[in-house]
Structure 1
């Protein structure tokens, strides 16, 4: 039984689809982190306007690392859907 990750068994076109699916999952997770209030500081130690401007970069990187560590499985669902749609179109 082959237990290697799905992304190591893909062709060139499929790898591109998987990368796009991972980017979409990371964007979704970054938005969810923003709504959860992750990293927001209040009071005298809050970063003010500078923190507000750059916190999205931190959340995006945290989300990307979450996806690279396995994520929540959304990327595989998106990939399977895109691959199925692509095969149906041909």
Structure 2
């Protein structure tokens, strides 16, 4: 079952976005992506997602939690959130990597 078909109609992509995403997925399946550009796009998306997730943990107080990890937990929380962002980007992310990759290729074409 197509994942897009399971989404409500208000969450569907525009025809241009759907076509671009399908083209990017087809290129990935055929191995036509530039590996360095794709890696950079995924790293960008991972950093973006990590930044979004950091704000989720800002309101937590370690002292209020009976099982809080104290200083160690607050020191390593940013590393954990970075790993969350990287894992989310590797497993499909929010779709930002496809758009960034496409824009990187456009900029390369213009500069050549």
Per the TM superposition, whether the score is higher than 0.5 is: yes
* 1:66 aligned onto 2:88: yes
In structure 2, runs of 5+ residues without a counterpart are: 1-21
Aligned length: 86
Deviation at 1:51, TM superposition (A): 0.6
Structure with the larger RCO, 1 or 2 (CA within 8 Å, 6+ apart): 1
TM-score where L is the length of structure 1? 0.80
Deviation at 1:43, TM superposition (A): 2.3
Q: Deviations over 1:39-90 (max 9, x none)?
A: x554222111111111111111111111111110000111111110011100
User: Given that residues 24 and 98 in structure 2 are in contact (C-alpha distance below 8 angstroms), is that contact kept between their aligned partners in structure 1?
Assistant: no
In structure 1, runs of 5+ residues without a counterpart are: none
Q: Which has the larger radius of gyration?
A: 2
TM-score where L is the length of structure 2? 0.66
Question: Over aligned residues, Cα RMSD in angstroms?
Answer: 2.3
